[in-house]
Amino acid sequence: MARDLHTQRRRADQGELHPPSLAQNPHNIAGPLAHALDTLRGVTEPLICVIEDEEVIARAVAARLRAEGFAVELAHDGHDGIALCERVRPDLVVLDLMLPGLDGLEVCRRIQRDRPVPVLMLTARGEESDLLVGLAVGADDYMTKPFSPRELVARVRALLRRVERRPAPPGDALRLGGLEIDPAARLVRLEGEIVHLTPTEFDLLALLAGRPGAVFSREQLLADVWGWRDGSGQRTVDSHVRGLRRKLGSDLVRTVHGVGYALESPA
Ligand code: CA
């Protein structure tokens, strides 16, 4: 049966690769339907959307992820990528930064707006400044092309682990001045208005807010929020702090020079 499902899904994915077949049958929902059936049957491999306009890279990434047991859906431009994510509600998105139509930054913003989902961004060399913006708009991790498919799979697994090990929600919302953090709903309100944070921004804020005023080193934040213990990726922390400041106000997170960050405790 597993083999049948695999074949069924592969056919569905080919539908994604060849839009004309979708045009002939606009109600073709074989891909998401196959995944929904799998879920009902208790086959719950994570579903990954790959949004990448370079066909060769898209196919290689999809093939490798499938070989590793993931379900994969493909889109080749930004608008299709957003529509795909709304339709299939993936567990993770692999998103190319440079896409025709809508670029990866805008796609990242839009797919995170209604439902936070981990995003692994793909960039080419020389796109560093865009990349930092990407991390600020809600990508959780990035890889620079060319990359090895093996490393991609490792990053995907690490990101999914981070989502899985997010702690069981404690009951009570936390209030700090005009800021309210509701861990059960993973919601943040500022002066009563909901603020949309990415999964990583939420985790970072929740950790800092757990001990207002306490200074956390970048290494400590990387270990506790990202699960990275080798001390690399400190600019990733800085980017996400920038994201929090942009959304919640520049005074919220204080930089402690040479040490790290602290959440300002309200007076
Ligand atoms: Ca591209």
Residues 187-224 have pLDDT tens digits of: 899 999 999 888 889 989 998 988 888 889 988 898 88
CATH architecture of 174-263: Orthogonal Bundle (1.10)
What is the band of 267 on the pLDDT scale with cuts at 50, 70, 90?
A: low
More reliable by pLDDT, 177 or 244 = 244
Distance 246 CA to ligand 1 centre (A): 27
Pull the structure tokens for residue 228: 């990275």
CB 250 within 8 A of CB 241: no
Tell me: pLDDT of 60 over 50. yes
Please provide the CATH number assigned to the domain covering 2-165: 3.40.50.2300
Distance from Cα 102 to the centre of ligand 1, integer Å: 11
CB 189 within 8 A of CB 180: yes
Q: How far is the CA of 173 from the centre of ligand 1 (A)?
A: 41
Radius of gyration of the chain (CA): 19
How many A from CA of 52 to the centre of ligand 1? 6
- Report the predicted TM-score, pTM, of the whole model to 2 decimal places: 0.58
How many whole angstroms from 62 Cα to the centroid of ligand 1? 15
* All CATH 3.40.50.2300 domain ranges in the chain, comma separated: 2-165
CATH 1.10.10.10 placement within the chain? 174-263
How many A from CA of 26 to the centre of ligand 1? 26
If you average pLDDT over residues 158-171, what whole number do you get? 69
Mean pLDDT of 75-102: 94
- pLDDT for 39 equals 52
